[in-house]
Amino acid sequence: GENVEQHPSTLSVQEGDSAVIKCTYSDSASNYFPWYKQELGKGPQLIIDIRSNVGEKKDQRIAVTLNKTAKHFSLHITETQPEDSAVYFCAASINNDMRFGAGTRLTVKP
Amino acid sequence: DTEVTQTPKHLVMGMTNKKSLKCEQHMGHRAMYWYKQKAKKPPELMFVYSYEKLSINESVPSRFSPECPNSSLLNLHLHALQPEDSALYLCASSPSGASGGGGYNEQFFGPGTRLTVL
């Protein structure tokens, strides 16, 4: 089955700096790659996603890149703010079967 | 209505109790999911319902029994649970079933039910 690895497990940045989180996946059949933000006591919130026929996608301060050949995808957050502090999960999906990475705890220091 | 709702928010039960978790969405989504999330871990897929039929069961013990009465509702019936089953149980929904959407299926999560088994 699909195996998703996510790095780093923790990331601390200064407000205004950029943050990058990287994931790899094992199953070349995976075709959908969402990113979720989870705050304490809440369910995961979809923040951006990318499909296998696209290499890059941007939404304001958030961007995601996908390298299908290398089976890598990454989340980039620019101009970080304290409210970006949360746990971020990457995931890889085939049809409705979605597998998550282990998560990255991002802390943005004011 | 653009959200997934779950009840109850918190549940404490003994190992001999029978209880149910409920999930509801009114977005017209055709797939619904149950996930289990332990502290500081990612969500783990338990069950997927596509067009009200069980399409994925990740070898979950029979003490967890899912039910999909209609396209808007998803239940998880609990019986004879163990303390290690204590976790956050998340429900999600997505617009298309397994064969629809080209496989690109955004999943939207509810807030979860925090379950404690004593």
A79 interfacial to chain B (CB closer than 8 Å): no
DSSP state of B97: -
What CA–CA distances, in Å, run from B5 to A17, B12, B55? 35, 19, 22
Q: How many H helices and E strands in chain B?
A: 0, 11
A7 interfacial to chain B (CB closer than 8 Å): no
Q: What is the pLDDT of residue A68?
A: 94
Q: What is the pLDDT of residues B39-57, one digit of tens each?
A: 999 999 999 999 999 988 8
Q: What is the pLDDT of residues B88-110, one digit of tens each?
A: 999 999 987 665 555 568 899 99
Interface test with A, best of B23, B54, B107, B113 (most A CBs within 10 A): B107
List the single residue in A49, A89, A101 with the smallest CB-CB distance to B106.
A49
The mean per-residue pLDDT over the stretch A75-86 comes to 98
The mean per-residue pLDDT over the stretch B66-91 comes to 96
Contact A44 B48 (CB under 8 A): no
Whether the upstream peptide bond of residue B66 has omega within 30° of 0, thus cis, is no
Interface test with A, best of B89, B104, B113, B114 (most A CBs within 10 A): B104
Over chain B, what is the mean pLDDT?
92
The mean per-residue pLDDT over the stretch A89-99 comes to 91
List the single residue in B4, B42, B48 with the smallest CB-CB distance to A100.
B42
Contact A96 B41 (CB under 8 A): no
Could you tell me which residues come within 8 angstroms of residue A86 by beta carbon, excluding any fewer than 6 positions away?
A37, A38, A39, A105, A106
Instruction: Yes or no: say if B86 and A17 are a contact pair by the CB < 8 Å rule.
Output: no
Grade residue B113 by pLDDT with cuts at 50, 70 and 90: very high
Grade residue A1 by pLDDT with cuts at 50, 70 and 90: confident
Q: What is the pLDDT of residue B104?
A: 63
Contact A95 B33 (CB under 8 A): no
Q: What is the pLDDT of residue A84?
A: 98
Q: Nearest 5°: CA angle at A35, between A34 and A37?
A: 145
Contact residues, chain B, for A7 at CB < 8 Å: none
Contact B42 A89 (CB under 8 A): yes
